[in-house]
Amino acid sequence: MNERKHLTSREIDHLMAAIKGSRNEARDRCLLLLMFRHGLRVSEACGLKLDQVDTESRVLHVVRLKGGLSTTHPLRSDELRAIKAWLTERARMKPVGKVFFVSEQRTPLHRSTVNLALKKYGELAALPLAVHPHMLRHACGYALADQGADTRLIQDYLGHRNIQHTVRYTATNPARFERLWR
């Protein structure tokens, strides 16, 4: 059997708990939460601009890469708290430019920094597999399927142009068989 390419919701919780007390806690909590909840690719997260995060309207303007369809997602209360905590820290750093996530050097966050952080938090959380950023995108798809979202809704949410990229999330989900034989 191939190694699993996604994290479960419980593993996401453990990963988020592992961030507590870290040097970049506010940034990394916000980063991981947004990557998971909105199915962001690492390049989409690193390229996120301040004007894409609208806390007043409680929405995230997701600009998809790789030819994906860009969308606007609602922001939940815990995401808004994480965003506000990060923006407070970010303002203290006084970075130049409009990029949302910055490094300790006040430059745009690099994908290698995200890779290293996730690897570290995965180890701290004692997760059974090596964690990498794309696992958060897959975790989003599976979590949406677990909540009963249909394939088309997940396709739109993740910005997939081809539904074949989306069916993996619902095809293996046992929840879709729950109502059978009642």
Q: Could you tell me the CATH number of the domain that includes residue 83?
A: 1.10.443.10
Assess if residue 20 is contained within a domain. yes
**Active site residue ranges:** 41, 66, 134, 137, 160, 169
Tokens of 66: 């790789």
pLDDT in tens, the chain (182 residues): 457 888 999 999 999 999 999 999 999 999 999 999 999 999 999 999 999 999 999 999 999 998 888 999 999 999 999 999 999 999 999 999 999 999 999 999 999 999 999 999 999 999 999 999 999 999 999 999 888 888 899 999 999 888 887 888 877 666 667 767 76
Using CA atoms, how far apart are residues 123 and 173, in angstroms rounded to an integer? Answer: 27
Residue 180 lies in a domain: no
Q: Give me the number of domains the chain comprises.
A: 1
- Residue 178 within a domain: no
The verdict on residue 127 lying in a domain is yes
Look at residue 44 and tell me if it is in a domain.
yes
On whether the CB atoms of residues 141 and 166 are closer than 8 A, the answer is: yes
pLDDT of residue 94: 96
**Domain enclosing residue 86, as ranges:** 9-172
Rounded Cα–Cα distance for residues 49 and 23 (Å): 23
Q: Does a structural domain hold residue 179?
A: no
